[in-house]
Every structure is written in C-alpha cells, then in structure tokens.
Amino acid sequence: MRDPGRRLRLLLVGGGHSHLEVLRRFGRGSLPNVELLMISAYAEHHYSGMVPGFLAGQYREESVRFLLEPLVSAMGGVFRQGSVASLHPADQAVVLTDGTRVPYDLVSFGVGSRPAGSQSAEVASHASVVKPMSRVVELHHRLLAAAKSESEGAGKAYHAGVVGGGAAGVEIVLAMDAFLRDEGRRRDLFLVEAGESILEGYPRGFRRLILRIFADRSIRVMTGTRVAGVEPEALLLAGGRRLEAHLTVWLTGAVGDPLFRTSGLAVDERGFMLVDDGLRSVTDQRVFGAGDCVTLENYPDTPKAGVYAVRQGPVLWESLRAAVLGGRPPRYRPQDGFLSILNTGDGKALLHYKGFIVHSRWAFSLKDWIDHRFMEKYKRLVPSSS
Ligand SMILES: Cc1cc2nc3c(=O)[nH]c(=O)nc-3n(C[C@H](O)[C@H](O)[C@H](O)COP(=O)(O)OP(=O)(O)OC[C@H]3O[C@@H](n4cnc5c(N)ncnc54)[C@H](O)[C@@H]3O)c2cc1C
C-alpha cells in the first residue's frame, strides 16, 4: 500500500517513441504528485527512422539521437541508465541486470523488440545487431574499420550483409552498400531471407522495384535460404553452403524481450506483452506498454513500426493520467495502413502509400523532412540542445 503522503512513482522503462511523448506531456506539470523515473539501457536513444541514413553517411550521429538524461530532467523527471532484466508485478518492482530492485506504483514499457535468434551464443558473438537501436553505433564503427582495411585487403572485396529481408534489413544493406561505395571500398553484399520473398506484406510492384535496385547495385538477394550457423567470418547456410561474411547484421523477425515471459503477465506467442485498448497489460492494470514490445489484444496484427509507436504516445499518456487521477482510459484504435518510405542510401527513397509507389529524390526529401520534424519536436525541449 502506498503511504498517502508519498508521491506516486511512475516508472518508464525504455526511451523509445511513445515514452518521448509521455515525457513531453509530463513536462507540462499536470501530474504534480507524481515522480517520474526513466530507466533505459543506453544513455542515448537512436531514432530508427534516421538510423539507415546515419549508416549510409547521410547524417551525423548527433542528428539521429536523443540524449536521455538532459531530456528527462528538463521535463522534471529522473533518468537512470540500466537494463531491466525482470518484472515482478506482485511486488510492484523491476530488477535490473546489476541486481538493483526498483519499486513502482505504475510502470510503462517501451523497450522495443528483439530479432528472433539474436540471443543465441553464435549470433551474439559473431553478428552485429541494431536492437536495441543504440547498438547501431558499434555497427557504424565496424563499417568505418572496413573502409580503412582496404590496403590490408590488397583490393580484396569486403563481404558483408544482412540476415532478414524485412523493411529494416533492406534499408540497412542498402545503407552499408552506399557507405562502402562512397569510401571507395570493393564489396560483395548480400541479403539472406528464409521466406520465399523479401518485404513480405508489401505490394508486388514495390518488391519488384526494390529487386531492381539490388540488381543495379550488385547486391545478392538469397530468398528461401535458411541460416544454419554463424561463424566469425562466414554464414553456414542450410544444405551445407558456406557464405563468406566479414560482417553480418542479424535482423530477423521481431520477438518480445524475455522479461515479459518470465513476469507471469499475459504475452502472445512471440513473447510480446498483451495490452487492452488503454495500453494496459490485460493481466495487471498497473503495468502499461506501447510500441513494438506490446501486442494489442483487439488488433493483434498491428505492424511493429515506429509510426504506430508514435501514435500510441498520446494514448499512453492519457491512460497513465486516468490511472493516476481516476476516470476512464482512452481507447486506442490503430490507423489502417501507413505511409512507408524506405531510404535507399543513394539520395533517393522508395515510397509506398495506398497503392502509389515511387522511387525518387523527392520521396527522400519528404522522409528527411518528416524525420527532422520528429527529432526537433523533442530536442527543442532541452534548452541547450542543438
Ligand atoms: C533499421 C531500422 C529502421 C527502421 N525504420 C523505420 C521507419 O522508417 N519507420 C517506421 O515506422 N519504423 C521503422 N523501424 C521500426 C521501428 O524501429 C520500431 O517500430 C520502433 O523503433 C519501435 O519503437 P519503440 O519505442 O517501441 O522501441 P525502440 O525504438 O526500439 O526503443 C526501445 C528503447 O528501450 C530501451 N531498452 C530496450 N530494452 C531495454 C531493457 N531491457 N531495459 C531498459 N531499456 C531497454 C532501448 O535502449 C530504447 O531506448 C525501423 C527499424 C529498424 C531496425
């Protein structure tokens, strides 16, 4: 039971899209008897929409990341860097990987997703990941090293690629290609996908266009190809083939953070926390969640995409407010379809919206404008930030 003299403890886990909006609204001061603590695995949060552009060399790192501590403190909260390892709803506490126990009255998760299989020892040791998103900095350093290794390689091609042919995998391999090309590095790039086609769920015309772009840039696309093992400099493909790979990025289908399965809260078959229309756990109304880490009980097929996480931000805030002040939580209904723009790393982007498809510089300019507007909305909350 909470001592009535004590302020209510609101814990936000993860610094992703929806929590940025909760922070912004908390900063307006309409919940005075609440203390807000954000715990996130990294001191920065890298905005996924601009991450491929960062890897391609189109943006500097400062342009694509938020520094969480200054932002949280400007909004009147406290930031702590740490990874939540487990959630204990009966005790109203989370435990961090360093063993610290952190109690809460209300907790909200915005911890994103993990690529399936990324926790296997082989993948963890020999492949790069971009989830959590801040791991992209390590990948960037590997690409920089690859560019410098030209002389040692005596002109030998650098073999690199991505496992997983979803939108993120497509953007990342194109970004790697663009970066290495601009650095003058000889390269042999690949995209491996276990399913029968890449970009599953996208219209056929869109997929055809992307395959043409891959062909023009000599990037090998291997569909229907399962990876059986990951070695330091190679992938073992099912059937016994060995694919040389100095660098592999693991970006297979999304699964939930294991912390949800062990919490005793209801999860779906991929381990995402099940939430109601008010973004509350269907098991415990003191636990909230938004973005990739949740599955909506009433809209289970909602895509795991940043645009949905952004739209959930205001709903999450209203739902948390209702939990603090009393009243009915809002009802979130995901929009039908969304504007999809993939950065192809060559100054152009491939845009798809309700059957309209175009690959152009204009589409990149639109994406660039949308992404900068998003960054600016939160960066300007911190007085001294650029
Ligand atoms: C390369 C790439 C490009 C993409 N481009 C687009 C795009 O253009 N448009 C689009 O709509 N979607 C895009 N996506 C999908 C998009 O990234 C996700 O849908 C979106 O990031 C989900 O937002 P989120 O806030 O739920 O999680 P995230 O953005 O993943 O944020 C999770 C946060 O939680 C923190 N965290 C994670 N685990 C823990 C833990 N255990 N304890 C504490 N903190 C933790 C992380 O450090 C991070 O701050 C892209 C994905 C990738 C990989």
Each residue of 222-275: pLDDT tens digit?
999 999 999 999 999 998 999 999 999 999 989 999 999 999 999 999 999 999
Q: What is the pLDDT of residues 148-198, one digit of tens each?
A: 886 455 578 999 999 999 999 999 999 999 999 999 999 999 999 999 999
- CATH code, residues 121-253: 3.50.50.60
CA–centroid distance, 110 to ligand 1, in Å, is 8
pLDDT at residue 117 in the model: 87
pLDDT at residue 383 in the model: 86
Q: Is residue 10 within 6 Å of ligand 1 at its C-beta?
A: no
Q: What is the pLDDT of residues 294-328, one digit of tens each?
A: 999 999 999 999 999 999 999 999 999 999 999 99
Q: Is the model's pLDDT at 49 over the cut of 90? A: yes
Characterize 171-201 residue by residue with b for buried, 16 or more Cβ atoms within 10 angstroms of its Cβ, and e for exposed: bbbbbbbbbbbebebebbbbbbbbeeebbee
Q: What is the pLDDT of residues 52-86, one digit of tens each?
A: 999 999 999 999 999 999 999 999 999 999 999 99
pLDDT at residue 217 in the model: 96
Structure confidence at residue 332 as a pLDDT band (50, 70, 90): very high
Q: Is residue 15 within 6 Å of ligand 1 at its C-beta?
A: yes
Q: Is residue 130 within 6 Å of ligand 1 at its C-beta?
A: yes
Taking CA atoms only, the protein residue closest to ligand 1 atom 16 is: 306
CA–centroid distance, 85 to ligand 1, in Å, is 18
pLDDT at residue 354 in the model: 87
Q: What is the pLDDT of residues 209-218, one digit of tens each?
A: 999 999 999 9
Task: Provide the β-strand partners of residue 94.
Answer: 87, 102
**Which tokens in the block code for residue 255?**
């699964």
Q: Is the model's pLDDT at 374 over the cut of 90? A: yes
Q: Is residue 307 within 6 Å of ligand 1 at its C-beta?
A: yes
pLDDT at residue 20 in the model: 97
Residue 254's CB is within 10 A of a number of other CB atoms, namely: 21
* Percentage of residues of the chain with pLDDT beyond 70: 98
Query: What average pLDDT score do residues 2-18 get?
Result: 90
Q: Is residue 16 within 6 Å of ligand 1 at its C-beta?
A: yes
Cα 177 from Cα 385, distance rounded (Å): 32
Higher pLDDT, 132 or 44: 44
Q: Is the model's pLDDT at 96 over the cut of 50? A: yes
Q: What is the pLDDT of residues 115-157, one digit of tens each?
A: 998 888 999 899 998 888 888 999 999 999 998 886 455 578 9
Nearest to 323, CA basis, from 372, 362, 279: 279
pLDDT at residue 386 in the model: 47
Q: Ligand 1: which of 22, 65, 69, 111 to mutate, judged by most atoms within 8 Å of the beta carbon?
A: 111
Q: Is residue 172 within 6 Å of ligand 1 at its C-beta?
A: yes
The reply to whether omega before 132 is within 30° of 0 (cis) is yes
How would you classify the pairing of strands 273-275 and 294-296? parallel
Query: What average pLDDT score do residues 351-378 get?
Result: 96
The angle, 0 to 180 degrees and rounded to 10, between the axes of the packed helices 17-26 and 361-379 is 40
How would you classify the pairing of strands 340-343 and 114-115? unpaired
Structure confidence at residue 2 as a pLDDT band (50, 70, 90): low
What residue spans define the domains of the chain?
A: 8-41+82-113+256-338, 121-253
Mean pLDDT of the chain: 94
pLDDT at residue 385 in the model: 54
Q: Which atom of ligand 1 is nearest to the CA of 15?
A: 49
Q: Is residue 116 within 6 Å of ligand 1 at its C-beta?
A: no
Cα 270 from Cα 261, distance rounded (Å): 9
Q: Ligand 1: which of 55, 80, 133 to mutate, judged by most atoms within 8 Å of the beta carbon?
A: 133
pLDDT at residue 179 in the model: 96
Q: What are phi and psi of 49, to 5 degrees?
A: -60, -30
For residue 62, give the amino acid letter: E
Tell the burial category of 356 from Cβ atoms under 10 Å away from its Cβ (0-12, 13-18, 19+): exposed
* CATH topology identical between 8-41+82-113+256-338 and 121-253: yes
- CATH code, residues 8-41+82-113+256-338: 3.50.50.60
The pTM for the full model equals 0.95
